Amino acid sequence: MSKATITHIARALNVTPSTVSRALAGNPRVSEQTRLLVQAKAEELGYEPNVMASSLRKGVSNTVGMIVPRINRQFFGNVISGVEAILNPAGYNLLISQSHERVADEVKSVNTLLSHRVAGVLISHSIETTNFSHLQKVLDKGLVLVQFDRVAASLQGAQITNDCFNGAFLATKHLIKNGYKRIGHLGGTLLASVYLDRLKGYQAALNEAGLATGDELVFQDVITREAGFDAMQRVLAAGCDALYCAGDYAALGVIEYCRQQGIAIPGDFGVVGTANESFAPLIAPSLSTLEQNAFDMGNKVAEAFLDRVNGAIFSSHHTSIPMRLIVRDSSLRMQSKLIIET
Amino acid sequence: MSKATITHIARALNVTPSTVSRALAGNPRVSEQTRLLVQAKAEELGYEPNVMASSLRKGVSNTVGMIVPRINRQFFGNVISGVEAILNPAGYNLLISQSHERVADEVKSVNTLLSHRVAGVLISHSIETTNFSHLQKVLDKGLVLVQFDRVAASLQGAQITNDCFNGAFLATKHLIKNGYKRIGHLGGTLLASVYLDRLKGYQAALNEAGLATGDELVFQDVITREAGFDAMQRVLAAGCDALYCAGDYAALGVIEYCRQQGIAIPGDFGVVGTANESFAPLIAPSLSTLEQNAFDMGNKVAEAFLDRVNGAIFSSHHTSIPMRLIVRDSSLRMQSKLIIET
DNA sequence: GTTTTTTGTGCAAACGTTTGTATTTTTGCA
DNA sequence: TGCAAAAATACAAACGTTTGCACAAAAAAC
């Protein structure tokens, strides 16, 4: 069965467990000869190291905990992927947990991870979370904490976010360049810094161009497809000829409304979304959008973790990842042919 | 720092670690009074149980390993979600690993999980995998193995799959009911049973209806958007007026080709896809498709695991989950209004 | 008041590693 | 051949739990 411990190998070879341990670890204090013997025997017995025993003894574990609101969201799936791409080769494994956007679940997840004596916690906190004492506890225990996407500035440790301000700035500027004059904004809740930054970036671009800006052009809490669809009446009433949307789903609703009303996109109306959801290149017209670069973010998160675990506390505290504008059809002034930019 | 062990609590209370351990475990052999004392002290010291020490001693761990080809694929994200929904409340945690569709990575993942002494392995194997000795090893160690989606019939243990045969049967029948006469099939590699079953289900429906069936109507290895697009010339040359596609991406390619060529869907041509990818309801025309019910599958996987871990070896060996046909626009005979079914 | 039973704790070993120190063996060199 | 230095291995304790067994004190039964 699942026997085969270091001790079994030791007995079979008439050496001590210490020697076997060192042999397997490649410690130079054991001779080449016995190392080969040990490796052969380990292979023969189907030995699998017991990381629990090892971590217990060493006091450090090779698993790191990751908490995301929902694992089945494209964005987070990609972040996780990006993290694994760096962490696995470095010998770490990921214990993944979901908060389901609920602070209670998040707290429970943190405790579970602490029980597992993870080497660190990587988290994008739930939308509900406003009290961060559970994460402070992580820091207090001397563990590495890396926040990403949704971060609490008040907490120590690395923070990796998208550069939403510049992204929104870029997107809006792109609309301006394409000749749109009265550009509105479908935004999210301003309690989340990502949405606040997008609003600010959007406004900055308008200001720079000397275009009209004002509250009547900004529509708060419009992130779903339905909300985007429903908001269009007000958007048109406000005289807008384009929109920068803080989310692709809202932009989708906009496109559907226009199709239904016979408003040509991009002929009569321009749209840029945010997130590059998987449907963005697939709908008609294809949706110009800001790419969040989730995989990249995952890489950065993992690197920040490794930096800190290896004692590089000096590594930059806050990393902002540039968002890339993907120009597709929905934001061009003239109806163009199908251009796939990926 | 991260101190606070059972021993510390014991010392602070002038009792032995055994008593503390029993108190925290709710063992009736310790008095109500001391239990409360212990719990209070544990709280005060910020005690977090060390599951590694616990698992080591008990010989069983509360983590279960899960291996998927890619974590950032919608389907697998949802399966994982479904697994967690059952396993977390049962006290288990998930150690997740990706095979990246490479058999080498898969083998490595299995070994990692074995090193973590997981209670079981839940796996959908990589498309490359044809030799299953690494999974046999899992069984040999007496661990629980649950396969899902892509399964190897030769291996012991639970197998949870979608009922692709009946799904394809349903989808094809639906096209028949809507008046399509010469229905083709865009399929995947027949090495994977899911694709083989879909082909068979498709053929069964045609046979039942007495419609033409034949190799000239079946297009193998057409699963990507590009492949779907490119296959259309041959499909039309074969005289088809509808397609059942084994994947939504191929169906998307079909739709794009038709749009480009001015072929009306569903007026002139009908399409049903498979998987209900996130873009399916969002494109125009919206895509009729078979839902894979990933979350549900995750639930079943978790339940199969729990059954086995609790010794219910008699629980059904092979579970087949019905696929649901989602009728949208792409498969209706007459051009209908935009109907959103989600 | 003694014996039996019950109840609550303590003792000590074990899970599989790792690692500082001690010990043995080998090697180099006079 | 002898001896120090170097190389290889052994010893033993520790990581934080859990648990069978022993044991004492209290409660119940006689």
Q: How is B268-335 classified by DSSP, letter by letter?
A: T-EEEEEE--TTTTTSSSPPEEEE--HHHHHHHHHHHHHHHHTT-TTS-SEEEEPPEEE--STT-SS-
Contact call for A115 and B63, based on CB within 8 A: no
H or E element, residue A208: helix A193-209
Q: Which residues pair with A23 in a beta bridge?
A: none
Interface with chain A: mutation pick from B24, B48, B61, highest number of A CBs within 10 Å: B48
Q: Which one-letter DSSP state was computed for residue A104?
A: H
Query: Can you give the distance from the CA of residue A143 to the C1' of nucleotide D13 in angstroms?
Result: 27
Q: What is the pLDDT of residue B314?
A: 60
Q: What string of pLDDT tens digits covers the 342 residues of chain A?
A: 557 999 999 999 999 999 999 999 999 889 999 999 999 999 999 999 999 999 999 988 999 999 999 998 889 999 999 999 999 999 999 999 999 999 999 999 999 999 999 999 999 999 888 899 999 999 998 899 999 999 998 898 999 999 999 999 999 999 999 999 999 999 998 888 889 999 999 999 999 999 989 999 999 999 999 999 999 999 999 999 999 999 999 999 999 999 889 999 998 999 999 999 888 988 888 999 999 989 999 999 999 999 999 877 665 688 999 999 999 999 997 444 444 333
pLDDT value of residue B215: 95
Give the Cα separation of B195 and B330 in Å (integer).
22
The pair of three-digit structure tokens given for residue A102, joined into one six-digit string: 């609920």
Q: Which nucleotide is nearest to B4 (CA to C1')?
A: D16
B69 contacts B127 by C-beta, under 8 angstroms: yes
Q: Is B283 on the interface with A (CB under 8 A)?
A: yes
Confidence of residue B316 (pLDDT cuts 50, 70, 90): low
Q: Which residues make beta-bridge pairs with A218?
A: A185
pLDDT of B295 over the 80 cut = yes
CA-nearest of A221, A279, A79, A85 to A161 is A79
pLDDT at position B190 is 87
Shortest distance, CA B96 to any CA of chain A (angstroms): 7
What tokens appear for A99 in the block?
A: 């908060």
| pLDDT tens column, B91-111 | 999 999 999 999 999 999 999
Q: How far apart are CA B119 and CA B93, in angstroms?
A: 10
pLDDT at B282: 81
Phi and psi torsions of A168, nearest 5°? -60, -35
Count of other CB atoms within 10 angstroms of residue B308: 20
Residues of B in contact with A338 (CB under 8 A): 260
Q: Tens of pLDDT along B233-246?
A: 999 999 999 999 99
The two tokens of residue B260 are 């480009």
Q: Is B268 on the interface with A (CB under 8 A)?
A: no
pLDDT digits (tens, 9 = 90+) for B228-283: 999 999 999 999 999 999 999 999 999 999 988 999 999 899 999 999 988 898 88
**B288 — pLDDT class (breaks 50, 70, 90):** very high
Q: Which pLDDT belongs to residue B153?
A: 87
How many whole angstroms separate alpha carbon B117 and alpha carbon B139? Answer: 13
A279 touches chain B (CB under 8 A): yes
Residue whose CA lies closest to nucleotide D8 C1': A30
Reduce the DSSP state of residue B243 to 3 states and report it: strand
* Cβ(B298)–Cβ(B323) below 8 Å: no
Per CA to C1' distance, which residue is closest to C26? Answer: A31
Q: Write out the two tokens for B48.
A: 């977090």
Structure confidence at residue A65 (pLDDT): 96
* Sole residue written with tokens 């943190």: A110
Tens-place pLDDT, residues B23-80: 999 998 899 999 999 999 999 999 999 999 999 999 889 999 999 999 988 899 999 9
Per DSSP, helices labelled H in chain B are: 6-13, 17-25, 32-45, 51-58, 74-87, 103-115, 133-140, 164-177, 193-209, 225-237, 248-261, 294-309
Integer Cα distance of B52 and B29 in angstroms: 25
Q: Is residue A292 within 8 Å of residue A275, measured between CB atoms?
A: yes
- Chain B residues with beta carbon closer than 8 angstroms to that of A63: 95, 116
Are the beta carbons of A164 and A190 closer than 8 angstroms? no
B 304-323 near A (Cβ less than 8 A): none
- φ, ψ at B57 (rounded to 5°): -65, -45
User: How far apart are the C-alpha atoms of A184 and B15, rounded to whole Å?
Assistant: 68
Q: Is A220 on the interface with B (CB under 8 A)?
A: no
Q: Hey, what are B65's tokens?
A: 């390993």
Six token digits for residue B93? 């945690």
B96 and chain A: CB distance < 8 Å anywhere? Answer: yes
Per-residue pLDDT at B341 exceeds 70: no
List the helix and strand counts (H, then E) for chain A. 12, 12
Express as a percent the part of chain B with pLDDT over 70. Answer: 96
Contact (CB, 8 A) for B165 and B193: no
In chain B, the residue whose alpha carbon lies closest to the alpha carbon of A46 is B137
In this structure, the number of other CB atoms found within 10 A of the CB of residue B178 comes to 17
For A68 and C19, how far is CA from C1' in angstroms? 38
Q: In terms of CA atoms, which chain A residue is nearest residue B256?
A: A282
Yes or no, beta carbons of A282 and B283 under 8 Å apart: yes
Give the mean pLDDT of B289-303.
Answer: 95
User: Taking a C-beta distance cutoff of 8 angstroms, is the pair B174, B272 a contact?
Assistant: yes
Per-residue pLDDT at B129: 87
Residue A303: both structure tokens together? 């690197």
CA distance B288 to B340: 11
Sign of CA dihedral B238, B242, B246, B249: positive
Confidence of residue B339 (pLDDT cuts 50, 70, 90): very low
CA nearest A292: which of A75, A72, A67? A75
Q: How many CA atoms lie within 13 A of A262 on its CB side?
A: 0
Q: How many CA atoms lie within 13 A of A59 on its CB side?
A: 5
Tokens, residue A326: 């993907």
Instruction: Determine the pLDDT at residue B342.
Output: 33
For residue B59, the tally of other CB atoms under 10 A from its CB is: 8
B149-204 tens-digit pLDDT: 999 988 989 999 999 999 999 999 999 999 999 999 999 988 888 899 999 999 99
Asked if A263 and A269 touch (Cβ cutoff 8 Å), the reply is yes
The pLDDT assigned to B337 comes to: 39
Mutate to test the interface with A, among B3, B48, B72 (most CBs of A within 10 A): B72
Cβ–Cβ under 8 Å, residues A198 and A274: yes
pLDDT at B2: 56
- Residue B162 is predicted with a pLDDT of 94
CA distance A112 to A98: 12
In order of A72, B19, B122, the CA distances from B78 in angstroms are 5, 43, 14
pLDDT averaged over every residue in chain A: 91
What pLDDT score does A315 carry? 57
Contact call for residues B67 and B109 (beta carbons, < 8 A): yes
The vertex-B138 CA angle with B136 and B144, nearest 5°, equals: 115
Residue A283's pLDDT is what?
Answer: 85
**pLDDT score at B335:** 43
Task: Show residues of chain A in contact with B255, CB under 8 Å.
Answer: none
